[in-house]
Copies of this chain bind each other. A is one copy, B any other.
Amino acid sequence: MDRLRHGGGRSTVSRRVILEALMHIGDAHITAEQLTDRIHQQHPDINESTVYRTLERFEELGITCHAHLGHGPAVWYLTDRQRRYLSCSRCGDVIDADPALFESLVAAVEDRYGFTVDFGHFAVTGMCSNCAPG
């Protein structure tokens, strides 16, 4: 909220509620729709488009970010730690992987192409151990 005010934004009921809901899910992640549903339990008057707009505003300020885990809706979470999602394209299971594994690839790509990888934005898809053939 400090960061919001600092960035020229206003502190409103909707924004406080959305931020609290995000803090409440802790280490997990949530879609905009699920978040809206939860918020509606206590605040049925907060509109889904406000949730979208707020999440986007928060993202500009570096408070939240979103990732795409597969073909469905994006998921949102607080930017409190790095996320490296492995998403099974068959069963939809999501593994929250160790970022350290990705470091050498990030460095190699930077080196070779001058490209700064952001693994947080799109999940790495594939098949989990249960779904992989053989």
Contacts and interface: CB of A to CB of B under 8 A. Distances in A.
Nearest to A93: B115
Contacts of A119: 124
Contact of A115 (B68, B105, B113, B129): B129
A45 to B, nearest CB: 30
- Size bin of chain A's contact surface: 20 to 34
Q: Is the interface of A mostly helix, strand, loop or mixed?
A: mixed
Interface string A103-124: 0110011001111111101111
A101 interface: yes
Interface string A83-107: 0001011000001011001101100
Given A105-B101, A109-B97, A121 B86 contact: no
A121 B117 contact: no
A60 to B, nearest CB: 14
Given A101-B109, A101-B112, A116-B127, 11 more contacts: A86-B109, A95-B115, A101-B108, A109-B124, A109-B126, A116-B126, A117-B124, A121-B125, A121-B126, A122-B122, A122-B124
A129 B104 contact: no
A115 B127 contact: yes
A134 B18 CA distance: 33
Given A68-B68, A125-B121, A125-B122, A115 B86 contact: yes
